[in-house]
Chains A and B, each alone.
Chain A
């Protein structure tokens, strides 16, 4: 994957994705290495995303790379009216690889085309966030011992949550069965369901998560945002149905794990955190290993 930009999860084949996961396992065993000494990683965050940025910067630092960049557009030359083209071309003279988060969809693809150095998309608007998908499948494989034939339950905002869409696409390569729990207003978009059907896989839709928890291998929770509802009363009516409480996990499989892309607001009660089935903070930690694997493989050192 040397010098190959990562913009959409589909840019990497199933085999390439698995190769990244294998490399990430190596970094989990040995997270501090000097293999990126002398390399400069630029993190260009045109909109704030503290978690993703720190995760990348932690990954780069632990491998010995230097990190440069900005954490919001107002502290960069964008506020002076510089074009994305000019920012990318300039920064590519300072860095060996660019990690970019940008509020506009398609910005990462464009940056990867104008940049002479590889670009990793750390989120382009509501479009793609492939490193999140890779850390999700890493977490799933690690907790289940396999990626194949799993029962995946998604809960919450399945309409606007790009995390859910990309993860669904990725899991379509691994014979998953999808259980989709959401309010009627926030159901999974038809083009994503079509992709499941195209792969001859099955999905089931629910409005209540209680009945489906015992079936789950992975319970993937997402946040429901009030502003997604056209009718605020409807939000008030449904919001409590999508909050996970510790006692709801009683009948779950012993191997089942709860995932969440974070940040959490109130959709997982804090008493779940102490349950052995809670995995979301480990999931965030796995993000560092996966990003180490991506940086090292794209920079061609492993």
Chain B
């Protein structure tokens, strides 16, 4: 267990084993929960939002017991929470800490902003190539139009 000083500051209880996703923008916490499909997760989940953060002002945090995410899975949240940190906990100890990364390809969970794109009219999962990770530009595999961060909507 971590020392007492650190524990006192915890605003969301610690978990024994599992994954902590920290530094989520406060407004995106529920989006992250949705993107990871945690609504149907049977394990214990703790989350907090609008917590004080020195770096971000307000932040959110999600702790999922007994779940360890593959990179592909966790990188889904990178568009909603690019600042997020992934912390793997085993036996109350941090065993791994890493930043989420925007993947090269994005499937299913972002809507194409082009109203005339076939994916907005038929039951077709969306597919994008990420052409710019900094500015966030997603090129639709089907209609070839670019969806940028100002037009980003999650399905």
Chain A residues with Cβ under 8 A from B122's Cβ?
83-85, 104, 110
Dominant secondary structure at the B interface: loop
Q: Are B144 and A128 in contact (CB under 8 A)?
A: yes
B112, B121, B140, B142, most chain A CB atoms within 10 A: B142
B124 within 8 A of A: yes
Contact mask B130-148 → A, CB, 8 Å, 1/0? 0000000000111111100
A126 within 8 A of B: yes
Chain B residues with Cβ under 8 A from A8's Cβ?
144
Closest chain B residue, CB of each to CB of A85: B122
B114 within 8 A of A: yes
B39 within 8 A of A: no
Interface magnitude class on chain B: 10 to 19
Contact mask B95-138 → A, CB, 8 Å, 1/0? 00000000000000000101011110111100000000000000
Whole-angstrom distance between the alpha carbons of A110 and B112 in the complex? 14
Assess A109 versus B123: contact at CB under 8 Å? Given A104-B117, A125-B116, A126-B116: no
Closest chain B residue, CB of each to CB of A107: B118
Chain B residues with Cβ under 8 A from A292's Cβ?
none
Q: Are A106 and B143 in contact (CB under 8 A)?
A: yes
Closest chain A residue, CB of each to CB of B141: A109
Q: Are B123 and A105 in contact (CB under 8 A)?
A: no
Q: Are A104 and B144 in contact (CB under 8 A)?
A: no
Chain B residues with Cβ under 8 A from A84's Cβ?
118, 122
Closest chain B residue, CB of each to CB of A8: B144
Assess A106 versus B123: contact at CB under 8 Å? Given A127-B143, A127-B144, A128-B144: no
Q: Are A110 and B118 in contact (CB under 8 A)?
A: yes
Chain A residues with Cβ under 8 A from B112's Cβ?
106
Whole-angstrom distance between the alpha carbons of A124 and B140 in the complex? 14
Whole-angstrom distance between the alpha carbons of A282 and B44 in the complex? 72
Q: In chain A between 94 and 139, which residues have their CB closer than 8 angstroms to a CB of chain B?
A: 102-107, 109-110, 124-128
Whole-angstrom distance between the alpha carbons of A103 and B143 in the complex? 11
> From residue A130, how far is it (CB to closest CB) to chain B in Å?
12
Q: Are A105 and B145 in contact (CB under 8 A)?
A: yes
> From residue A60, how far is it (CB to closest CB) to chain B in Å?
26
Whole-angstrom distance between the alpha carbons of A88 and B119 in the complex? 16
Whole-angstrom distance between the alpha carbons of A103 and B114 in the complex? 13
Per CB-CB distance, the 5 closest pairs between chain A and chain B, nearest first, are A106-B142, A105-B143, A106-B143, A106-B118, A104-B118
